Amino acid sequence: MPKKGKHSVGVARQYCGQLGKQDTCQVAVSLSAANDHASLPIADRLYLPHEWGDDPDRRAATGIPDDIVSQTKPQIAVERLRAALAAGIEADVAWADAGYGNDTDVRDAITEIGLAYAVGIQSSTSLWPPGVEPLPPKPWSGRSRPTPAIRRDSEHQPVSAQQLALGLPKKSLAAGHLGEGSNTKLASRFAPVRVRPAHRDYHRSTPRPEEWCLIEWPADEAEPAKYFLSTLPANISRRALVNTTKLCLADRAGLPGPQTGTRAWPRRGARLARLSSSCHAVRRRLRSPDLRKRNDSPLRIMQRRSCRRTSPPGGYRPRGSPDQT
């Protein structure tokens, strides 16, 4: 959320997703409940940089609660996910873009929670190709302390996701359906490969379990466009794997930033977040396939539905208006 000035809570010069570069902004982590037809933001938390979390004067001036500490964005994401499941949200799979999916700790935490995942990763993510895994621990010579860690050497190294994709035969790519576009169906080509993540596995005594690496390579592109890791079952069909993973690619509307001029810590259940979630749900509903099949435009649907007017509660005063008493 791009911002000007330096007094709004959490504002700092950092990477801004909306601008695609470093700039002065606020950053929030949001969690949505989603399925094939709709998604709804259900939780969010403002990211607090260390220059804010470690400054008592700034904390006091903006009303940051004492129990709020500086956390990384991946840590916030895992915390929000745990809280949602504890609150009764039913889920089988967790989705995340590469900003979170590329973090090995996030993927391990999702597995520890008990969910499968389908997450984006960067092209540079290191993987062991099919049928290849790290070297076993070095045999103990009897003269020094044994090292139980698995190994790699100059000739036995993992490859990047991009190297893996470029080495695949053309026949491994098959068309997959991405969903409905504004004028036509969206499609791309996908290749599923069984791999082992390799990030710092030389600190482990055993290789990481196999999982899916799903590579998206559009027919009109010279290189793959996106990469995903997934712990969905090994016997899942290609079509089911693509259909489940494609929610990572679905259209998302994030929560808007605090109102212009807001400088205090956003309290839980803020009106703006609730309003954003409601509007997002309505927008997704009006775009759902079952409504489009009836050739109903969102405007005609809303024109047909009457809106009940309710009287304001006693003593209600619009924000900013003078007190009549």
For 187-230, the pLDDT digits (tens) are 788 999 999 999 988 888 888 999 999 999 988 888 899 999 99
Whether residue 310 is contained in a domain is answered as: no
Strand-pair category, 93-96 with 116-121? parallel
Residues 6+ apart with CB under 8 A from 165: 123, 191, 215, 217, 223, 224, 227
Whether residue 96 is contained in a domain is answered as: yes
Residue 78: pLDDT band by 50, 70, 90 thresholds?
very high
Rg from Cα positions in the chain? 24
What is the model's pLDDT at position 299? 46
105 and 201 fall within a common domain? yes
For 42-55, the pLDDT digits (tens) are 888 888 888 888 88
Range from 11-25, 79-93, 307-321 that averages highest in pLDDT: 79-93
219 and 248 fall within a common domain? yes
Whether residue 231 is contained in a domain is answered as: yes
Q: How many domains does the chain have?
A: 2
| Cα angle 80, 72, 4; round to 5 | 100
Name which of 251, 231, 235, 246 is nearest 190 in CA terms. Answer: 246
Residue 34: domain span: 1-91
The tokens describing 46, both together, are 């403002």
For 238-292, the pLDDT digits (tens) are 999 998 888 766 544 444 444 444 566 665 435 555 566 666 666 666 665 555 5
What is the model's pLDDT at position 142? 67
Whether residue 280 is contained in a domain is answered as: no
